Every structure is written in C-alpha cells, then in structure tokens.
Amino acid sequence: MKELLIGKLNWDALPHELFTIAGTLTIVLMGLVIAVVLTRTKRWKWLWNDWLTSVDPKKIGIMYFIAGGVMLVRGGLDALMIWLQQAMSSGDSHGYLSSDHFQQIFTAHGNIMVFFVAMAFVFGLINYIVPLQIGARDLASPLLNTLGFWLFVGGIIMVNMFFVFGGEYAATGWLAVAPLSGKEFSPGVGVDYWIWSLMISGIGTTFGAINFIMTILKMRAPGMTMMKMPLFTWGSLCSMVMAVSVFPLLTATLFLVYFDRVLGTHFFTTLGGGDPMLYTNLIWMWGHPEVYVLILPAFGVFSEVVSTFSRKAIASYKSAVFGMMGVSAFALSVWLHHFFTMGAGADVNGFFGVMTMVIAIPTSALVFNWIATMYKGRIRFDTPMLWFLGFIAIFAIGGITGVMLAVPPVDFQLHNSLFLVAHFHSTVIGGVLFGVFCALSYWFPKFTGFRLNERLGKYAFWCWIVGFCLSFGPMYVLGFMGASRRLDHYDSSTGWQPLFILMLIGGIVIAIGVALQLAQILASFIQKKKLRDTTGGDIWDGRSLEWSTPSPAPFYNFTVIPHVSTRDAYFEMKQHSIPKIVYEDIHMPKNTAVGIYISIFATLASFAFVWDIVWLIVASIIGIIVTFVIRAFDEHTDYILPADEVQKLEEAQAKKTSADDRASAHMANDTDDDMGLWELITIVVSFFLDIIRNKRWRKW
Amino acid sequence: MERSKNRLNPGWIGLIVAAGLASLVLLVAYLVQGKNIALFNPKGEIAQEQHSLMMFTVTVLFAVAIPTLSVAFFVAWKYRDTNTKTVRTTNARVTGGSHSKYLVLLFWLIPTSGIILIASTMWPATHRLAPQNSITSDSKPLQIQVISLRWKWLFIYPEQGIATVNFVQIPVNTPVQFEMTADETPMSSFWIPNLGGQLYTMTSHVNRLNLIADTAGDYPGSTPEINGAGFTGMKFTARADTQTNFDQWVQQVKESPNSLEIGTYEKLVEPSENNPVAFYSGFNSNIFDNVIMKYTGTSEGHMDH
Amino acid sequence: MVGAHELNHHEAESDERLAFGFWVYLMTDLLMFAVLFAVYAVLHGNTVGGESGRELFSLPLALTETIILLTSSFTVGIGMIAARQGKKSQVLLWFGITFVLGLAFLGLELREFYTLIQDGHTMQSNAFLSSFFVLLGSHAIHIIVGLMWVATILFYIKKRGLNSHMVRKLTLLSLFWHFLDIVWIFIFTLVYLGAFV
C-alpha cells in the first residue's frame, strides 16, 4: 500500500547527513528570503506577469543568465571542495570527504557546469541578441521558448532535489559510463536523479534549438540574406543545428539507461547480452558535439567583439562563416577519441584521430582571421577585448593539448589523466566561459542602458587569468606525472601534493575573481546614473542591428523592421541619414503560463520516475497532455499593438531618455571615476550598518 | 566614454604576465624535482616511442602556435588606440572583408600543413603502437593474465603457475603480453605509465596489451577509469628486475602458503578496498576461462581487432 | 486596425514557419528512432542462447500490420485533400477511418507483445528482446499519441468547425502520421524481414 502511494520513498530518503541537511537548509533559506522580499515589496504579481510568464526573449534571456549565475556559484563551490580534498589527501591523510561523496561532487560539478551554467548562458545570449541582430521581434515560437526555459529550470530542480529526498547523487562521473551506472553497481537513486535532470533539460534544449533554427532561417529582416547575417548569429545557427542533431541521441540513450535500471532490460548490462561499449559510443556521439554547441556561439561573439573594438570589418567574413561551419561539420565525426583506450584497433583509432585533428584547421583559420582583423585597426582595450586576449592564449593551449590527445598512442598515456582535465578546462573556461564573460560585458549596456564598472571588471579578469594559470598549469604537469583524474587520495611518495596545493590557491584566486564579478555588477547598478549610455543605444559604435535600438530595447525590439542591404548592417545605416519613422501596427505574442505548468508536471513526472511513484507518473503525464491540448486549441495567443500606441510609448520613452541623459551629462564618464573595490565595500557596509543602527527592519 | 588616463602601459603588462608565467614554471619545476614524471621517464620501448611521438606532436604544434600567438599579441599592442605613431587602415568602412584572398588562403594553409604533418606521422605510429601488437624481441614473451576485480588487480602467470594481487613482477628486456578481462567490475583501465599507455579491461572482452621494460625498478600502476567507490585504492606495483631475480621470485611465490582455489577466488571477487599485496603458489586453471564463459557463453571472449 | 490582407499574410508566414519547425522536430524524433535502430542492429544477435527473431516473428502478422498502417496513411492523404477543400464531413470520415485503422494496428501489435511475454520472451530476457520491445514499443507509443491527436482534433473540428487553424493542425498531424508510417517501414524491413535473411 505504502509503495503504491509513495513508491520507493521512505524516511531514510529525507536529509540526515551533514551535507544533505546543509544543502536542504540552503535551498529553503534562499526560497524564504525571496518569498519574504517579494511579499514585503508586493511584487508577486509583477514577478508573475512581467517575468515568469513572459515570452519576451529578452526577459527569458535575463532569467537564463540569473539561473546560470546561481548555478555557477553552486558548481564553483563543488570545485573548491574538490580542490580542497585533493590538496589535503596525501599519504596518511584522507582529506575530509569519503570516496563516494567525493565522486558525487565531481559528477555534480561536471553536470552543473555543462548543462546548467554553460548552456544557460549560451541560451540566454542567443535569446536576447539574435532576434535583435536579425531584425526580428521575437523568436519563431514564443511558446517553445518559455517551455524550453522552464524545462531547464525543472532540470535544475531535479539536480538539486537529491539534497531533500534521497541524499545521494550519481557517483559515476558526469557522463555516467555503463556498466557503472547500471543497477548492479549504482543501486541508489543518485543515477536516477542524473538521468531525469538531464532528460528534462535536454528536451528543453532540443525545443530551444528547434526554435532558434526556425527563427534564424525564417525571420530575418528583409534584405538580410544568410551571407549578410552577423557572425554571432552564424555561430548560434551552427551551434543549434548541431544541438538539434545530437540532443535526441542523449534523450534516447538516457531512456535506455533508465530502462536498464528500472525495467530490467539488457542494453548496457554486463550479462544478458548487454553491451556497455554501446553506451560509451552513444553518449559520446552526443557528448562531443555538445562541447562544440557551447563554443561556436563564443566564436561568434569574439568575431563581433574583435571587429567592433578594432573598428574594422572582420578580415574575411566568408572564412569566418566557413570556419564555423567546418568546426560544426567535423564535430559530428570525432566521438571515438574519447575512448581510444577501449581497444578499437589502429584503423578505427587512426581515422577518428585524424578527424579530430582536422578540427584544428578551421579553428586556426578563425584565429588568423581575428588577428588580421586587429591588424591596422584602432583597438580599444575595454574589458571585452581583455577577455578576447585571455581566450586566445588559454584556448590555444587547450587546442594544442587537444591535438596531442588526438594522437592515439599519446592518448593511451594521457587518457583520463589530469592532463585531460586541464585540456578540457582550458577549452571550456578559456573558450566558452571567457566568451560568455566577453559577451556579457559587451552587451550589458544593451541589456540595461548603462555600462559595467571597468575597474572591477579588470580586477576580475586578472584574477581569472592568474587563478586559471595557478590551478590548471600544474594540472598539466600532474598529468605528465601519471596522476589520474577523480582521485580522492594518493601516496605521498608521488610528490603530487605541492602541486595540488598550488591548484587550490589558484582556485581561491578564481573564487575571488567571481566575487569581483558579482561586485562589479553591484557597483554598476549603484553607479548607474554615472555609467549611463547616453549615445541612445550605441555605446560601442557598433556594427550590427542590435545597436540600432535604444538600450534596453523596447519589448517589441524595433519600431519598424529595418531593411538591410549589406553586412554590418547598422554600420552601413549610420553612414546614411535615418529615414523618418512611419509607425505601424505591431503583432506581439501574449504572455503565457503554459510553459510553467507543463514544466511543473514534467518535473513531478521526473520525480515520480526516480521514486517509482506510478500514480504520479500517470497523473503528471496526463497533466502535460491536457495543458498542451488546451493551449494548442487556444486561438487567442497574440495581440496587436496599434500604431498610435507605439507612437505614444516611444514619445514617452524619448522624453524620459533625454531627461536621464541630461541628468547624467553632468557626471564625468571617465573610467577613472569608476567605483573601486574599497569604495564599494564602504558603501555596502554602511548600508547594512544604517539598517542596523536605525532599526529599519521594523518597517518591514 | 573616456579612457582612463592612468592606465598601465600595455608593454609593461605584457612583461609582468611573462615574468609571472616564467616564475610559475620555475616554481612547478622546483616542486617536482626528483619525482617520477612518468611520461618523461619512459622505462621501456613502448613508453619511449609514445614519448617521442608526443614530443614530435608538441613541437609541430608549438612551431605554429608560438609565432601565431606572438603575432596576435604584437598586433594587439601595436594597433592599440593610444598608439599614435602607427599607420592604420583607411578602409574601416568596407563591410565585405578587407583583405586579399591570398591572405585568407594562408589562414587555412598554415594549420592544414601542420595537421598533415602530424597526421602522416600519427597514422603509421598508431598502427605500430597498437596495444595488441606483439613486441619483436629475442627473448621469449611472458604471458600474464589480468582480471580487474573490485577494487584490486589479480595477476595470473599461466606458465609459471603462480598468481598475485596488486603486484606484478617481470624480467627486463622481455616482452610481456597482458591478457586482460574483468569480473563483476565496471570498465576499468590498466595503466603502468612508465612502461606504456593504458588499455581498458571489460567484462566479456579480452584485451591484449604488450609492454616491455628496459630498466629495473618499481613502477606504479593504477586504473584511470572510475569503477566505483574504491577505485582510488585500486593500485598495484609493477617491478622489473633481471631474469635471474625474476626466476627467484617465482620460486619464492611458489612457496606461499596460499593457493588461488575457486573458493579463494570467489572471495576475491567480493568488493574490498585497499587490498594488500598477496601471493598465491598456484591457481585453479579454469579461473580465467570461467570468467570469460560467465559473460559470453564461450571460452574466447570478444577479441579486440 | 490590421487589414485582413496583412493578417492573412502574417498567418501564411507563420503557417510556413510552423510547418518548417515541425519538420525539424520530426527530424529529432527520427534521430531518436535512429538510436533505437542502431541499438537493435548491434544487439539483435545477443540472445544468450534464447530464440532469435527468425523463431519468434510471424511475417504474415507483420505484413498485415504494414498494410493496415499504409492504408491509414492513404486515408490521411484523402482526409487532407478534403480538409483543403473545406469539406468538414469528409475530413471527419477519413480521419475517423484512420483512427480505426490505427487502433487495429495497435491491437495486433499489442497482441503480438502479449503472446511473446506469455511465452516467457520478455524485455528482461536478453538484449535482443530488450531492443526489440523498446524499438517497437516506442513506435507504438508514438501511434498512441497520434491516435490521441486524431481524436482530439476531430473533437474540436466537430465543435468549432473546419477553419484555417484546424487545417494547419491537420497538416502537422498528417506529417506526423506519415512519419510514423515511414518508421514502421524501416521496422518491418530491418527487424522482421531482416530476421529471415
């Protein structure tokens, strides 16, 4: 009877260990703080109407950033725990974590960073910027957009749910290789949480990718042919074509793992005719293209930033486009390089090794392209350009070590060592993360109407560079010394400990860098009047269409969809006079809560799948179907914003803008006057002291 | 937005970064002196060849990357906006790409040549260094069967009639063929970095790895592939010594009180961590074949290619 | 106020977009089936001494199922012609027949599964049967979704009449149904016929 009602759930599943209690308390506390603030400021309705049910890709983009930022801290804390354990655990000391717990931490770290940080930031950027760049008002399907976002949130809930119910996450490594992930070797619910958090966020990603492809291919402004699109849009298109090709592979494979665990099938089991090697192939056929899904938008960002900040067009547009397409195409043909050591034979290994190396060719062509763009330009070294230079150096190391790993006999010595870990962190941090930071500092003024504090930005950048070198430089050496990855302990005779300690110091420096980035955002908000973009939306003298809108752009993006005739469309427009605006009716989608409702049901279903609660599985699936059908047959999902309304809104906004501009004009906009760290700390401390001294909490 | 007037000259920044990197390299070199940097410490022909291949690859890559990066940073420095003494392009307006077709061709030719060079070396080397290739040598090869268990390594010497746990001794200058499988253990990986690259050990498969040692010594072995909670402790020692000492050692082991019967083996299969080294004076000759049979229903196992 | 012309233009554009997006979705679904086909191809020989497809499959049954499904695609085609001509009762008739045919297909398939399971050939028996049941089961689940879709849309057409929104949805449904038919052809060829080669 009890099983029918609550499946495998029992009292033991509730938090009863230190880290599960701490995790649960943190989640509950965060929820409470948010709830209290919203109640006191009477903003529940605002939150629901303006943000949660919004289908505006700009709002959804910001929500992705916030979610990604929170998960960056969560994944970063995992990283600090790993660094600390490995620095301590030499010889007689076994550190402070048990082996099993340590293994859960690095598994969670990997999943969170890839799925809920990197993908989140990439999706946020594409959502916000691509429609603005191609002259569209929204994505092709606003419904799919909000649904994809909330499924992603469902994935975040599932990957953290184990703190509250179950107490364990997968301890298998981020891709849960078979047969380790099977019922025999991982009997607990950890791997089930792994399956379902990746399942729903993966489906959300697939929907998002379909949406982005539809948008880029079908909703460009008149006159914008494919070869006139901005390079960030190209990078996003290539990325999303790959995503839509490989995420279904992940979904199918996850189902098979689930069936093995719950239905007793024999896909990847050691007995019964199962083939674990099949899992390895399938998961990496998804896994490798996935990392290129992440890097291609970054390549697009860098192409645009280098061009804008060198005040020159990209050296060769065609080469850049074919470079990105080349990377995408080859990325689908290299997956076996993740398991050269599984014994495939020299012909197979050799083939995949060659294909892997070949990717270095279009990537290098891109690098040369960027260098040629800088050549004879007039380069401004604001923060975005700094991130680009950091990327060039670190990603180059990542690329070099990647080609080394592509040589099978060499890979036999480097596979699963810390050399490998250093390689992929060089490419993911140096490439994807720095690309995200570059993009965020480049487009922040577009999102908010004021720029970021340059001073703190530079401090943060240098912390990241120094921290990265300290924590991943020694890692390469450890790889050479024969140190494998994922070890929670090692003999003192190996001599590895000093290097691990150095890495921990590097990790702390990176943590300081992240703290500085958060401080940077805070300081920018505090000083926003001074940092205001008074140029009317074009703070960097940009070249692409997003800079032709005010900052932030109105919810309908463009008053009138522009006609485009060249690449660098806005740059070209600026050379001519602006035609007089003729207002027209604007067709906009209504907000909807369908995405939220379906995702709630999907998350409930996932939870029910993990705990074998059959009635809840059935009920949730019915819920999804019913919600979807109701929405599908709802014929009133759009509305028209009449032309005179648009005119009224714009005139009001123009008035406000010139008033704000006048107010800011008195403030010097010299980056020298950007708030420094000490000044920020003083402000924050005095803010809290003021609350305490004057007992302002009484008003609450 | 006005630029800051008290910026550090980028030239100085470059120097500080270079100095910082150099100090890091020196520090790390200091910290690891005297330790076993296994991949730079090859103790056998296979490891040596893999090392040479790695160095060749790195050299070609750096030959392309270092000039490229230098040019990148030089260009960035030279054309910074505060540099008033340089000629800049006048065609900032051109939106279709501002450079000659031949330059663009170079973007693609340079990396292509580098990759062709590496790939053409890599292909024959991959065939030569395939783990299942026997090593040509005058000495008669030594056969050792390996079974990965949770979480220890079982070594069976079919010819010598002995078995060991977490310890394997081999004579120098003798090719050793490891015939490897796993029992009730997820995928693991067999790795002695000083002697050569790793190879996975999996249930229902028999993988063959050929290694050879040219210097006597104790070499650490481990499993880089995670296979459960006890994987960190799944370490073993590979000792290479003279043929005479090897024969002596075999005799010693033959005098061990324990023998690896089926019952003892079943006990070993049960999960245990950080197993101490163990020696068995004999073994049940069906053990290895039984393991293969258990998973494949035949006595051959899936052979690697 | 938006002119009727602009609204139609807008609708035509978004119809085209929707259809294109649905094609992309169908491609992702096809990729999931591709994984299941690949898995079947790798594992279909792993019977661990049990019976193989040759012993377990009935070609006449599979042929019957194929003919039923092909016919249902044909009736969908006729239904779509009627839809474009605005003939509501014809649409209801032909999609109704499709529904019945789909139900018949499902019934036959479920009976095949039931017989196999009764004889002890379950998805837990070995890798061959696991991949067989999951491949065909996934197709069956898609058919069930298709049937629910047909039922729902017929219900709404009866209630609201056959307007352009409905025709748009019928187009997507017909794409989905034809897609399932094509996947079945692959199943028939690779699984059933393949077992006897």
The predicted model gives B192-220 an average pLDDT of: 95
Chains that touch A (3 or more CB pairs under 8 A): B, C
A258-279 confidence digits (pLDDT tens) = 999 999 999 999 999 999 999 9
A108-157 confidence digits (pLDDT tens) = 999 999 999 999 999 999 999 999 999 999 999 999 999 999 999 999 99
Residue B301 has pLDDT above 60, yes or no: no
The beta-carbon neighbor of A481 closest among B38, B94, B103 is: B38
The beta-carbon neighbor of C124 closest among A219, A265, A278 is: A265
Number of alpha helices (DSSP H) and beta strands (DSSP E) in chain B: 6, 12
Say yes or no for a CB contact (<8 Å) between A252 and C16: no
Say yes or no for a CB contact (<8 Å) between C21 and A211: yes
What domains are defined for chain C?
A: 4-195 (1.20.120.80)
Say yes or no for a CB contact (<8 Å) between C124 and A266: yes
Which amino acid is it at A54? S
Query: Which residues in chain C have Cβ-Cβ distances shorter than 8 Å to A629?
Result: 152
Query: Which residues in chain C have Cβ-Cβ distances shorter than 8 Å to A214?
Result: 17, 20-21, 24
* Min Cα–Cα distance to chain A from B93, Å: 7
**pLDDT computed for residue A633 by the predictor:** 87
The beta-carbon neighbor of B54 closest among A276, A380, A410 is: A410
Q: How far apart are CA B201 and CA B187, in angstroms?
A: 6
- Contact call for residues B171 and B208 (beta carbons, < 8 A): no
A427-472 confidence digits (pLDDT tens) = 999 999 999 999 999 999 999 999 999 999 999 999 999 999 999 9
Q: How far apart are CA A600 and CA A615, in angstroms?
A: 16
- How many Cβ atoms are within 10 Å of B269's Cβ, its own excluded? 15
* Min Cα–Cα distance to chain A from C19, Å: 10
| Residues B208 and B282 occupy one common structural domain | yes
Say yes or no for a CB contact (<8 Å) between B107 and A319: yes
Residue A672 has pLDDT above 80, yes or no: no
Percent of all residues in chain C with a pLDDT value above 90, rounded to a whole number? 81
Q: Is B14 a member of any domain?
A: no
Q: Is B276 a member of any domain?
A: yes
Query: Is A219 at the interface with chain C, CB within 8 A?
Result: yes
Q: How far apart are CA C128 and CA A267, in angstroms?
A: 9
Query: Is A637 at the interface with chain B, CB within 8 A?
Result: no
Query: Is A365 at the interface with chain B, CB within 8 A?
Result: yes
Task: Determine the residue of chain B that is closest to A339 in CA distance.
Answer: B200
Size of interface A-C (CB pairs under 8 A): 114
Question: How sure is the predictor about B101, in pLDDT bands with cuts at 50, 70 and 90?
Answer: confident
**pLDDT computed for residue B90 by the predictor:** 61
C51-68 confidence digits (pLDDT tens) = 999 999 999 999 999 999
- Contact call for residues A150 and A208 (beta carbons, < 8 A): no
| Residues B272 and B178 occupy one common structural domain | yes
Q: What mean pLDDT value characterizes chain C?
A: 92
Q: Which of A299, A371, A291 is nearest to A334 (CA)?
A: A291
| Residues B154 and B289 occupy one common structural domain | yes
DSSP A268: S
Q: How many domains does chain B have?
A: 2
CB-based contacts of B101, cutoff 8 Å, min separation 6: none
Query: Which residues in chain A have Cβ-Cβ distances shorter than 8 Å to C13?
Result: 218
Choose, out of B103, B122, B204, the residue to mutate when testing the contact with A (most A CBs < 10 Å).
B122
**pLDDT computed for residue B59 by the predictor:** 96
**pLDDT computed for residue A470 by the predictor:** 96
**pLDDT computed for residue B6 by the predictor:** 53
Question: How sure is the predictor about A670, in pLDDT bands with cuts at 50, 70 and 90?
Answer: low
| Residues B276 and B224 occupy one common structural domain | yes
Q: How far apart are CA B53 and CA B50, in angstroms?
A: 5
Q: How far apart are CA A84 and CA A501, in angstroms?
A: 8
Cα(first)–Cα(last) distance of chain B, in Å? Answer: 65
* Min Cα–Cα distance to chain B from A634, Å: 45
Choose, out of B75, B93, B110, B291, the residue to mutate when testing the contact with A (most A CBs < 10 Å).
B75
DSSP A2: H
DSSP B131: T
State pTM to two decimals: 0.95
Q: Is B12 a member of any domain?
A: no
Question: How sure is the predictor about C2, in pLDDT bands with cuts at 50, 70 and 90?
Answer: very low
Question: Which token pair is A470?
Answer: 């300290």
* Min Cα–Cα distance to chain A from B201, Å: 8
Choose, out of A374, A488, A499, A509, the residue to mutate when testing the contact with B (most B CBs < 10 Å).
A374
CB-based contacts of B12, cutoff 8 Å, min separation 6: none
A511-541 confidence digits (pLDDT tens) = 999 999 999 999 999 988 888 888 888 999 8
Q: Where are the beta strands (DSSP E) in B48-204?
A: 142-149, 152-157, 162-165, 167-171, 176-182, 188-192, 196-201
Query: Is A264 at the interface with chain C, CB within 8 A?
Result: yes
Q: Is B168 a member of any domain?
A: yes
Chains that touch C (3 or more CB pairs under 8 A): A
* Min Cα–Cα distance to chain A from C107, Å: 21
Q: Is B104 a member of any domain?
A: yes
Read off φ and ψ for residue A169, nearest 5 degrees.
-110, 175
| Residues B149 and B290 occupy one common structural domain | yes
**pLDDT computed for residue A308 by the predictor:** 94
Read off φ and ψ for residue A562, nearest 5 degrees.
-75, 155
Q: How far apart are CA A356 and CA A335, in angstroms?
A: 8
In CATH, what number is assigned to the domain containing residue B281? Answer: 2.60.40.420
Read off φ and ψ for residue A492, nearest 5 degrees.
-70, -20
Q: How far apart are CA A682 and CA A692, in angstroms?
A: 15
The beta-carbon neighbor of B225 closest among A103, A380, A416 is: A416
The predicted model gives A53-71 an average pLDDT of: 96
| Residues B156 and B120 occupy one common structural domain | no
Give the DSSP H/E element, type plus range, for residue B302.
Answer: strand B302-303
Alpha helices in C44-87 (DSSP H): 53-56, 59-84
| Residues B282 and B146 occupy one common structural domain | yes
Residue A210 has pLDDT above 70, yes or no: yes
Buried/exposed code over A345-369 (b: 16+ C-beta within 10 A; e: otherwise): ebebbbbbbbbbbbbbbbbbbbbbb
Q: Which of B220, B227, B223 is nearest to B189 (CA)?
A: B223
Query: Which residues in chain C have Cβ-Cβ distances shorter than 8 Å to A140?
Result: 17, 21
Choose, out of B187, B235, B273, B302, the residue to mutate when testing the contact with A (most A CBs < 10 Å).
B187
Alpha helices in A484-541 (DSSP H): 497-526
Q: What mean pLDDT value characterizes chain A?
A: 93
Query: Is A369 at the interface with chain B, CB within 8 A?
Result: yes
**pLDDT computed for residue B92 by the predictor:** 60
Q: How far apart are CA A133 and CA A564, in angstroms?
A: 11
* Min Cα–Cα distance to chain C from A407, Å: 28
CB-based contacts of B201, cutoff 8 Å, min separation 6: B146, B147, B148, B180, B181, B182, B185, B187, B188, B189, B190, B207
So what's the ipTM on this one? Answer: 0.94
Residue written as token pair 């690779």: C190
Residue B305 has pLDDT above 50, yes or no: no
**Where is pLDDT greater, at B212 or A579?**
B212
Q: How far apart are CA C23 and CA C12, in angstroms?
A: 17
* 3-class secondary-structure state, position B292: helix
In CATH, what number is assigned to the domain containing residue B103? Answer: 1.10.287
Q: Which of A625, A622, A620 is nearest to A600 (CA)?
A: A620
Residue B98 has pLDDT above 60, yes or no: no
Say yes or no for a CB contact (<8 Å) between A417 and B224: yes
Query: Is A526 at the interface with chain B, CB within 8 A?
Result: no
The beta-carbon neighbor of A481 closest among B36, B65, B111 is: B36
* 3-class secondary-structure state, position B192: strand
| Residues B175 and B44 occupy one common structural domain | no
Q: Is B41 a member of any domain?
A: yes
B213-229 confidence digits (pLDDT tens) = 999 999 999 999 999 99
Residue A482 φ/ψ region, left for φ over 0, alpha for ψ in the -120 to 50 degree band, beta for the rest: left
| Residues B151 and B120 occupy one common structural domain | no
**pLDDT computed for residue C7 by the predictor:** 54
Task: Determine the residue of chain B that is closest to A315 in CA distance.
Answer: B97
Q: Is B121 a member of any domain?
A: yes
The beta-carbon neighbor of B2 closest among A276, A407, A671 is: A671
| Low-confidence winner among A48-52, A139-143, A569-573 (lowest mean pLDDT) | A569-573
| Residues B147 and B281 occupy one common structural domain | yes
Query: Is A668 at the interface with chain C, CB within 8 A?
Result: no
Query: Is A313 at the interface with chain B, CB within 8 A?
Result: yes
Choose, out of B55, B90, B98, the residue to mutate when testing the contact with A (most A CBs < 10 Å).
B98
Query: Is A187 at the interface with chain C, CB within 8 A?
Result: no
Which amino acid is it at C104? A
| Residues B192 and B53 occupy one common structural domain | no
Rg (chain C; Cα; Å): 20
| Residues B113 and B188 occupy one common structural domain | no
Q: Is B91 a member of any domain?
A: no
Domain that holds residue B264: 142-303
